Every structure is written in C-alpha cells, then in structure tokens.
Amino acid sequence: MKKTMTALTLAAVLAFSGHAFAHSPLMSCFDNGDNTVTCEGGFSDGSSASGVKIHVLDASGKSLVETKMNEDSEVTFDKPAGDYKVVFDGGEGHSVEINGADIVE
C-alpha cells in the first residue's frame, strides 16, 4: 500500500510541472490607425485579464514594451517601427502570442 501511495505522490509531482488550466486565454489586437495598437484580453470563461503581463517584443526577441492589462482588460501601446509580436503572459499554459504582421487596421 505504501508503495502505491508513494507512486501516486510521485505522479502528482511529475504531472505538476505541466499543469494547465481549463479556461483558454484569449487576446485580439487592433491597429488603431494612429500609430498605436490596442489589445483586448480575457479568458474563455469570461474572466477578466486585468493585471496580466503584456510584452511587446521586436524581431530579435528584445523587449520593447512591458506593461499590464488595465482594469478593462485592455492595453494600448505605440506601434513599433519594424516587425514585432505581442505576448499575453498569463503564466504557463496561459500565454498567447500575436504576430505584428497579423495586426491590421
């Protein structure tokens, strides 16, 4: 019995490293046409994404903007000149990336 118990505990620890959550993270971005980009975040179950970290990275992966979703689950930043991508960083298994080229006016 003890052996099985140990095995179960071990399973818990192992599985833990890859835990994921049931609600899916969501983000959509829009080019405002005034050299700013607005992204709206949220979760599939309707939870707010307030306070979720947002990184804007350039082509080489260098961070351009570090910010957070505001109380309305939105974030607006200046549109970078070159290629870029926006990362919604909701923790492991909870991230979304949107490529700058896919953000259209």
In residues, how long is the chain? Answer: 105
In the bound complex, what is the minimum distance in angstroms from residue 94's beta carbon to other proteins? 9
Range list of β-strands (E), 1-105 = 25-31, 36-43, 53-58, 63-68, 74-78, 84-89, 95-99
Identify the CA nearest to 52 among candidates 21, 14, 79, 83.
21
Q: Does 89 bind other proteins (CB under 8 A)?
A: no
**Position 14 contacts other proteins (CB under 8 A):** yes
Can you tell me the distance from the alpha carbon of 42 to that of 29, in angstroms, rounded to the nearest whole number? 12
Candidate segments 8-16, 58-66, 80-88, binder of other proteins by CB under 8 A: 8-16
Q: How far is the CB of 27 from other proteins (least distance, A)?
A: 10
Stretch of 56-64, 77-85, 97-105 contacting other proteins, by CB under 8 A = 97-105
β-pairing verdict for 25-31 and 63-68:
unpaired
Under the rule (CB under 8 A), what is the footprint of other proteins?
A: 1, 3-5, 7-16, 18-26, 28, 30, 32-34, 40, 43-48, 50-51, 68, 70-72, 91, 93, 101-105
